A and B are shown apart, each in its own frame.
Chain A
Amino acid sequence: MPVTTGIGLRAVHHDALWEARPPVGWLEAHSENYFPLGGAQPAALERLRSIYPIAFHGVGLSLGATDPLSETHLAHLERIVQRFEPSIVSEHLSFGSYAGTHYNDLLPLPYTEECIAHLVARIGAVQDRLRRRILVENASCYLRYRADEMSEAEFVREIARRAGCGILLDINNIYVNARNHGLDAQAYLQALPVDAVGEMHLAGHTVNTDAGREILIDTHIGPPCAEVLALYVIACARFPGVPTLFEWDTDVPALGELVAVAARIDRVRTQHDAHAR
């Protein structure tokens, strides 16, 4: 994957990307959107991968669930990885199902040794099935558990170390969690090993207020705010040579706006990424 800034691939932009071929570094597709066996979506991805490197980013594998890994889901993922040969495959450090019911959301995990051991085994099974290393993303969360035994950064670090996977470092999620739970975002970055981060995500969030209280929600609307960009600058210096993906998934704008924001982010990246200078 080139060390540059990519954008999230949305179906509404398929034709414009093919026709205009804007200068974005790469495209990240939600894996589940390309599970269909036929039709316009996979055909579009076949065309687009001939001109852009692609990554697959899944939201439905439910890595942290105590339910068995879904054979159906894994089979689909294996098939599309073989067909489309993405440069990166990633999922989330979360769970999304229990007792066979899926909630189609990224539900929070406790930062415990039991959970680490569980995730390490699951990630290992997925990497063995896909015959490749995957990246796991730190998720935004709106609650913490009394059962937490360690910090989020330590949790993520230990999973990556023991599972032999990489980290998809979502800078916006670190910021959201820092504001929501009082964690030290810069210390978080320092706690992660340099060579474990394989990709970074940047996105916008929404600040909801209620009777003077605020909670940040990871809505993926709009460009990253100044504070998230400031954290990203620190991350670029700490984790050089890492591609960045800009996510804008809600109220998706025209392709041109998406490309323009990605270009601004890439200028920030090249300014602060030691490998870019």
Chain B
Amino acid sequence: MPTLAELQAAFARALDGDTAGAAAWVEEGTFTAEERLAVYRHNTEAGLLSLLSAAYPAVERLVGSEYLAGLVEDYRAAHPSTSGNLHEAGVAFPGFLSARLGDSPYAFVADVAQLEWAYQEVLVAPDAAVFDVQGFAALPVEAHDRLVFTLAPSVRRVASSAPIEALWEAHREDVAPEVLEALDLNAGGDCLVLYRVGAEARIRHLDPASDAFVQALQAGQPLEAVVAALAAVDPERDPTALLFEFIQNGVIDGFRAE
């Protein structure tokens, strides 16, 4: 008789399609061993499909439910879940779509998926700290350049050459056909920063200058370097206004000396 480990190894192979080992150890009867093992394979794939459908509703509307279902087996093979928390099983899906669709006219679907996953991450991220306004005000001005401003845990940046926010908004729920017809895939790309205020996720478009600002912040650069990154794209842009906007809306939730 198999050990527990041998039996579980065979069962795992059965879930991936190789039933020979496990089937020899399964009692038959009304149903064959293969049929019984198939129930679990179906459960595993159905559970993953349900998760992907819930996490990527816009992608599902873009590609169709049948196409999404057809991806499950390949996705599971390419990116087996490494967590007992089913919610995490979809994390690799945008990358999977990018690899599958990257050279096709539908590459933008992978970017929409990235936006959808980022949105989910924003919703469940740890709460932001409360910016220490008094502490900041007490700092001498000459200390500002060496400060590293920290981004709230919910902050995510998503960029695409396609208008992914409009695509996502149009496909999150069922909308009128004229809304879909008005979408223009050639309308230009999006650079977005997502963050949470209270329980709500917010999306802000980033122009090239503010995108350089955000990327420098994300890289943990001191303010001096963040301002330089902004000026490299737009020398006339006021860094103070951006800094205070992001502090006020919670994108920045703290600071530390470098």
Contacts and interface: CB of A to CB of B under 8 A. Distances in A.
Is chain B found bound to chain A in the same assembly?
yes
Interface of A: 32-33, 35-41, 43, 59-62, 65-66, 70, 72-73, 76, 95-105, 107-110, 112, 114-115, 118, 142-148, 213, 215, 217
B37 A38 contact: no
B87 interface: yes
A112 B84 CA distance: 24
Given A39-B196, A66-B5, A217-B39, A104 B27 contact: no
B27 A38 contact: no
Given A39-B125, A60-B86, A98-B12, A215 B39 contact: yes
B127 interface: yes
A105 B47 contact: yes
B27 A145 contact: yes
17 contacts: A32-B85, A36-B125, A38-B127, A38-B154, A39-B199, A60-B86, A70-B83, A73-B85, A98-B8, A102-B82, A103-B15, A103-B40, A104-B44, A104-B81, A107-B8, A142-B39, A217-B39
B85 A37 contact: no
B233 interface: no
Interface in B161-206: 196, 199
A118 B33 CA distance: 25
Interface in B1-40: 1-5, 7-9, 11-12, 15, 25-27, 30-31, 33, 36-37, 39-40
Interface of B: 1-5, 7-9, 11-12, 15, 25-27, 30-31, 33, 36-37, 39-40, 43-44, 47-48, 51, 80-87, 89, 123-127, 153-154, 196, 199
Contacts of B26: 143-146
B43 A105 contact: yes
A41 B123 CA distance: 9
Contacts of A43: 199
Given A38-B154, A143-B37, A147-B2, A101 B80 contact: yes
B87 A32 contact: yes
Contacts of B8: 65-66, 95, 98, 107
B124 to A, nearest CB: 4
A99 B126 CA distance: 30
A145 B7 contact: yes
Contact of A215 (B12, B31, B51, B123): B31
B36 A142 contact: yes
B85 A107 contact: no
Contact of B86 (A32, A76, A146, A147): A32
B4 to A, nearest CB: 5
A217 B36 CA distance: 11
A84 B24 CA distance: 45
Contacts of B27: 143-146, 148
Contacts of A107: 8, 11, 40
Contacts of B37: 143
Contacts of B125: 36-39
Contacts of B40: 103, 105, 107-108, 142-143
Given A102-B81, A145-B25, A118 B199 contact: no
A110 B127 contact: no
